[in-house]
A = this chain, B = another copy of it.
């Protein structure tokens, strides 16, 4: 049995903790380094998940000579520099999305990232959700023939706090970016973006010059349509659905919940009052994402989205913002 891959975790916020739990849970990984400038966070995470070393400085991790890979879950503005350092050190990296909010910063690193022999994976975890992955597998296997229409529904339970909205880069770069990657999971070559932003319920989000809801229509190079419906609120929970329509059929994934108890009372028929919340909905996805990263790290097939996928999603987000603001359809060229 190969000894587990030693992982350095950079960032111990909400998503960082999810990665820490995955690293602890997977037999193929151990938590070697835990890093956060907020050192108490790093220490608490290390204690909870059995991290060996703790530091406030990510350079300690990357240059330690003591990690097989790093997972970057630090704030977005640090991503480019950390990936850059990791490439220099030859340390494989799994980086949370987005690479950056500024396409120019992404492009500045692009050639180096392309040329590097180091594995760079982007944290588009939803590709690894077992339900979406199974739907994708069946589309790829030709079960519904040629894919014609993909419908993505993605609604958050409630808006993020104002402080987060202010630095989020806006709904398209922060929330829809996951859906753009999901779109590209099925239709890699998107050529056209038409986006509509709405301010339907949140004065706070409108004040931040952002949208609280959106509808986006993408067109693929082979004429496929992708429709994305977003809302920053949803009283019934985290609404994450997918529908693929082709010339030989339809495949759908509905919402997932913790139990399938169905109740019939004088109040009606209730199929289960709970839908999984964000982290729980994608717990399996985060773990399987890490497993796929380790598999690629060890020379197995690389099924992880990479730097180019991270860049493509950002380009679509920027195009969507332009489209929504200017009320125009924006042509994009992801093949360049």
Q: Which A residues lie at the B interface, using CB under 8 A?
A: 1, 25, 47, 130-131, 134-135, 138, 143-144, 146, 148-149, 151, 153, 155, 194, 196, 198-201, 213, 215, 217, 219, 223-225, 227, 229, 231, 233-237, 239, 245, 247-254, 256, 258-273, 275, 327-329
Contacts and interface: CB of A to CB of B under 8 A. Distances in A.
| Count of this chain's copies in the oligomeric assembly | 4
A248 B12 CA distance: 34
A130 B131 CA distance: 20
Given A149-B229, A215-B225, 11 more contacts: A130-B258, A146-B200, A151-B153, A155-B245, A201-B247, A234-B250, A236-B264, A248-B266, A250-B265, A254-B262, A267-B273
A199 B223 contact: yes
A3 to B, nearest CB: 13
A245 B233 CA distance: 10
Most buried by B among A144, A149, A224, A264: A264
A271 B271 contact: yes
Contacts of A143: 263, 265
Given A134-B261, A225-B196, A248-B235, A269 B267 contact: no
A85 B297 CA distance: 49
Contacts of A271: 268-271
Most buried by B among A151, A196, A260, A272: A260
Most buried by B among A135, A261, A262, A327: A261
Contacts of A264: 236-237, 249-252
A131 B260 contact: yes
13 contacts: A146-B201, A148-B198, A194-B194, A198-B219, A215-B227, A235-B248, A248-B265, A249-B264, A252-B261, A269-B270, A269-B272, A271-B271, A328-B329
A171 to B, nearest CB: 14
A266 to B, nearest CB: 4
A213 B150 CA distance: 13
Nearest to A130: B259
Contacts of A272: 268-269
A247 B233 contact: yes
A159 B138 CA distance: 26
A176 B292 CA distance: 41
Given A198-B223, A219-B196, A269-B272, A138 B245 contact: no
A235 to B, nearest CB: 4
A145 to B, nearest CB: 8
Most buried by B among A151, A153, A268: A268
A130 B138 CA distance: 29
Contacts of A262: 251-254
Contacts of A254: 260, 262
Contacts of A270: 268-271
Contacts of A194: 194, 196, 217
